[in-house]
Structures are given as C-alpha cells and as structure tokens.
C-alpha cells in the first residue's frame, strides 16, 4: 500500500470505536491512505451498533453524520457485507 491509495473500511472495522478512531487518524495528513465506505456499509455499521451494543438511533445517526464529515463516501457503491445479523 502506498500513500494515496483508496482503502475500503468495512462495517466490521467501523463498529469498533478504538479501531475506527485509530484508522481514521492514520488517514489524517499526510494521508497515509484514503478511507472509503459505501452507504450499505454505513447502514450495517449503525444497525450492528444498535443491535449488539445497544446504542440508540440518535447515537448512531450522530456517528453516521460525523463519519460523513471525515470521509464522504465519494460515490462508492455496494460491497459484500461481512457483518450480517
């Protein structure tokens, strides 16, 4: 992997706060890599956080909005979900 490569962060990464935080900080300048996720991945992330960690829909909506700020998904469409319920 070289700098500037696109990397898809799947739901199994995004649901874990410490891992998500660490990986997204690596994407800060000088941009070790460019994180991406799809709308489906985001839905899966919020759903998993609600069902398995008991977060409220307000909490996950907040998270989704903040994540959109850090890395808008730039048109990445679909992936195979690895985090089925």
Binding site for another protein (CB under 8 A): 2-4, 12, 15-21, 24-25, 28-31, 34, 48-49, 52-53, 55, 59, 62-63, 66-67, 69-72, 74-75, 82-85
- Closest approach of another protein to the CB of residue 24, in Å: 6
- Closest approach of another protein to the CB of residue 9, in Å: 14
Q: What is d(CA 41, CA 37) in angstroms, rounded to the nearest whole number?
A: 6
Q: What is d(CA 7, CA 33) in angstroms, rounded to the nearest whole number?
A: 7
How many CA atoms, within 13 angstroms, populate the side-chain half-sphere of residue 71?
24
Q: Where are the alpha helices (DSSP H) in 15-56?
A: 17-26, 39-53
- Closest approach of another protein to the CB of residue 75, in Å: 6
Give the count of beta carbons closer than 10 Å to the beta carbon of residue 23. Answer: 17
């Amino acid at each position: 992997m070289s700098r500037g490569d696109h990397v898809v962060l799947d739901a199994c990464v995004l649901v874990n706060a410490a891992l998500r935080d660490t990986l997204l900080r690596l994407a800060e300048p000088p941009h070790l890599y460019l994180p991406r996720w799809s709308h489906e991945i985001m839905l899966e992330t919020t759903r998993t956080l609600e069902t398995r960690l008991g977060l409220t829909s307000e909490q996950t909506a907040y998270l989704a909005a903040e994540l959109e700020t850090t890395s808008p998904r730039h048109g990445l469409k679909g992936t195979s979900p690895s985090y089925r319920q």
